[in-house]
Chain A
Amino acid sequence: AQTVTQSQPEMSVQEAETVTLSCTYDTSESDYYLFWYKQPPSRQMILVIRQEAYKQQNATENRFSVNFQKAAKSFSLKISDSQLGDAAMYFCAYPPREYGNKLVFGAGTILRVKS
């Protein structure tokens, strides 16, 4: 069964520092995609970053980058130079090919940013 696990219910980071959110997943596929979504309080969910499993290079979007370890089935999100606006619930998600575009979400990690 395809599962996504986020083992950190909550994380805190000081403004301007770096934080890493963990995600592991289970799949029997060799080619697949992984996503990190961000949902700020009372605001809509947006895509932060996506990774294609067949690409060796880790995806990067400005201050957001991933550490993708395919063999370990690990997909962590690193946020550099954290800002107050980064405070949100972060969901790791994976769309199994057999499910079409259906996303399997992790439980989420609440990130708090301290000033």
Chain B
Amino acid sequence: LAKTTQPISMDSYEGQEVNITCSHNNIATNDYITWYQQFPSQGPRFIIQGYKTKVTNEVASLFIPADRKSSTLSLPRVSLSDTAVYYCLGQTRGFKTIFGAGTRLFVKA
């Protein structure tokens, strides 16, 4: 199983760019890296997914280097409402999804 490691928590201020890095040293060739966001008392919400290089959507960017042993979620100009837990997932072949403890991002005014 692809195990991921990410910081337990991060603090930021409104308007700043936030980068959360995730390590996944044993990622399999066919695995994709997926990031989810979770607010208190809600289910996780899909943010972005990628295989390699860079992926960008209206919410975030995902950078995956050539060796794919890590990835970085980039949130541009965060606001207070971006305070949440962010999960990096390394999925095995098939459909089991392994969540780690996630990174708790706290955005301050």
On whether the two chains bind one another, the answer is no
Q: Which residues of A contact B (CB under 8 A)?
A: none
Q: Which residues of B contact A (CB under 8 A)?
A: none
